[in-house]
Amino acid sequence: MNDNNKRVVVTGIGAITPLGKTVRETWEAMKAGRNGIAPITLFDTTDYKARLGAEVKDFRALDYMEKSETLRTDRYTQFALIAAQQAVEESGIAGNIVPERFGVYMGVGIGGIGTFETEHAKLMEKGPRRVSSLFVPMMIPNMAAGMIAIKYDCRGPAMPAVTACASGSNAIGEAMRLIRHGYADAVITGGAEAAICPSAVAGFVNMHALSTAEDANAASLPFDSRRAGFVIGEGAVSLVLEEFEHAKARGAKIYGEVCGYGSTCDAYHITAPHPEARGGAQAMMEAMREAGYTENDAVYVNAHGTGTPMNDKLETMAIKKALGEEGARRAYVSSTKSMTGHMLGAAGAIEALASILALNEGVIPPTINLDEPDPECDLNYVPNRAIKQDLDLALSNSLGFGGHNACLAFRKVKA
C-alpha cells in the first residue's frame, strides 16, 4: 500500500437484520448459528413456489421514527436510517467533524420496489390522480443516502452504490477510497434492502434463483450438495468509516481497519458468473495485495455463498485461485447467508459486520445446515458450529448480477 494513503478504520456499526434489531443481537445470533429464515408474512404466498424469506421480525417503523417520516419513506430507507442512527450514535462522530468532510455511500440493489408496487396498483385501479406525489422520491435508490445525509448534515459526497448483490461491499470499498485519498474524513456507509414483495419474489422464482424448499433448515444451503437457490432476505447494516488519525485524535472506539478493496467485473453474462471465476478471484487478489497479505496470515473468508449451484462451486474456485490451493485449505470460510438469507444490496454490509467482529472476538460464525458437503466445494466452511480462532485478516466477498465482484479486507488496528 502507498505510504501516502490515509488509513481507514471502523468507529461505529448499526444493524437491523433477520437475526436482530441491533449489532449485538445480530452477532450473538450468528455465533449461535441461529436461523433467521421463516415463512414469508409480508404478503400472501399461496400462489408462489417460494414461500420462505428472512424478514426483519416484528418491525414497526413507528418504534423508530415519527409518523410523518414513515409516510414518506420506503421500507428500505427506513432500515437504512435505523442502522445509520445506531452507527452514528456509537461512533460519536456527530458534531465532531466538519460537515463538508462528512459523506454517505449507501448500497442498495433494488430500492423502493414495495413503494413501486403500491403506487402502480393505485395507477391501475384508481387512475393517475391517485398516485402519491412522493412516489418517485420514495422509490429511487439514492434516497437512503440522501436522507441519511440530511439527518446528519453530511455535505460531502453522498450517493448510492447500485451493483446488485455487490452493492453493500462496493459502497464500503468506495467509501474507504474516498477517505484514503483525502476527499472525506468520515463516511456513513453500508447497505439496505427491502424487496420481500410479490413482484421481486415472482421474478426471482421464475428465473429459478430462489429455493423452493418448505423447511427453513433445508432452504439456504451454501456449499451443500442439496443447494438449489437462495432465500431472499431484508434489512440494513451501516458502518461509520473514519480516517485513522481523525478517529484517534477524538478518542473514538475503533473496531478494525478497512485495509483492502478489490472491485472487478466478469464482463461475461448478466446473471451467471464467469466459468473460470476470473472476476471474483481478481477482486480477492486486489484486496489481498492492498492488505499486505502473507502466507503467515490466519485468514477468514466470509463467502458470498448464496446456496445457488453455480455460485458456490465457482466461488470455491475463486478462493483457490486467490489464495493458492494450500492457502485456501488453510483458510476458514463460512457463509452467513445460511442464517440471514440473501439480503441483496445489504448482503455485503452484514457480511462486513461478521468479518469485523470475527476479527475482534476471534470467533468464526458457521455455515449452518451444511450436512451433505458438495465434493466440488472442498474447503473448510466451518459447518454448523462457530469456532474460536485468532485471525489476522478477514476477507468479505460479494458477487452480483451484471458480473460485479467486490472483496473487502479487514485487519485489527495496529498503531
Q: What are phi and psi of 52, to 5 degrees?
A: -110, 150
Q: Final residue of a domain: which of 249, 284, 318? A: 249
Q: What is the pLDDT of residue 118?
A: 98
Q: What is the pLDDT of residue 415?
A: 67
What CATH number did the domain enclosing 313 receive?
Answer: 3.40.47.10
Is there a single domain that holds both residue 301 and residue 241?
no
Q: Tell me if 140 is assigned to some domain.
A: yes
Q: Tell me if 161 is assigned to some domain.
A: yes
Compute mean pLDDT per 10 residues along the chain, 415 residues long, and list them.
76 98 98 98 98 98 96 98 98 98 98 98 98 98 98 98 98 98 98 98 97 98 98 98 98 98 97 96 98 98 97 98 98 98 98 98 98 98 98 98 97 88
Q: Tell me if 68 is assigned to some domain.
A: yes
At position 269, the amino acid (one-letter code) is H
Quote the domain boundaries for residue 370: 260-411
Is there a single domain that holds both residue 312 and residue 359?
yes
Q: What is the pLDDT of residue 414?
A: 84
Task: Using a cut of 0.85, tell me whether the model's pTM lies above it.
Answer: yes
Beta bridge partners of 363: 388
Is there a single domain that holds both residue 337 and residue 266?
yes
At position 383, the amino acid (one-letter code) is P
Is there a single domain that holds both residue 114 and residue 14?
yes
User: Structural domain tally of the chain?
Assistant: 2
Is there a single domain that holds both residue 185 and residue 241?
yes
List, by residue number, the catalytic residues. 165, 304, 342
Q: Final residue of a domain: which of 249, 271, 288? A: 249
Q: Tell me if 104 is assigned to some domain.
A: yes
Q: Tell me if 315 is assigned to some domain.
A: yes
Q: What is the pLDDT of residue 289?
A: 98
Is there a single domain that holds both residue 309 and residue 241?
no
Q: Tell me if 254 is assigned to some domain.
A: no
Is there a single domain that holds both residue 146 and residue 13?
yes
Q: What is the pLDDT of residue 39?
A: 98
Q: Final residue of a domain: which of 185, 219, 249? A: 249
> 107 Cβ partners below 8 Å, 6+ apart?
160, 161, 162, 163, 167, 168, 169, 170, 171, 172, 189, 190, 191, 192, 345, 346, 348, 349
Q: Mind listing the pLDDT tens digit for each residue in 49-64?
A: 999 999 999 999 999 9
Is there a single domain that holds both residue 109 and residue 237?
yes
Q: What is the pLDDT of residue 5?
A: 86
Beta bridge partners of 404: 265, 400
Is there a single domain that holds both residue 266 and residue 240?
no
Contact 77, 160 (CB under 8 A): no
Q: Tell me if 349 is assigned to some domain.
A: yes
Is there a single domain that holds both residue 238 and residue 270?
no
Q: What is the pLDDT of residue 3?
A: 44
Q: Tell me if 3 is assigned to some domain.
A: no
Q: What are phi and psi of 303, to 5 degrees?
A: -75, 155
Neighbours of 245 (CB within 10 A): 12
Give the SS3 label for residue 200: helix
Is there a single domain that holds both residue 323 and residue 228?
no
Q: What is the pLDDT of residue 107?
A: 98
Is there a single domain that holds both residue 104 and residue 194?
yes
> 294 Cβ partners below 8 Å, 6+ apart?
none
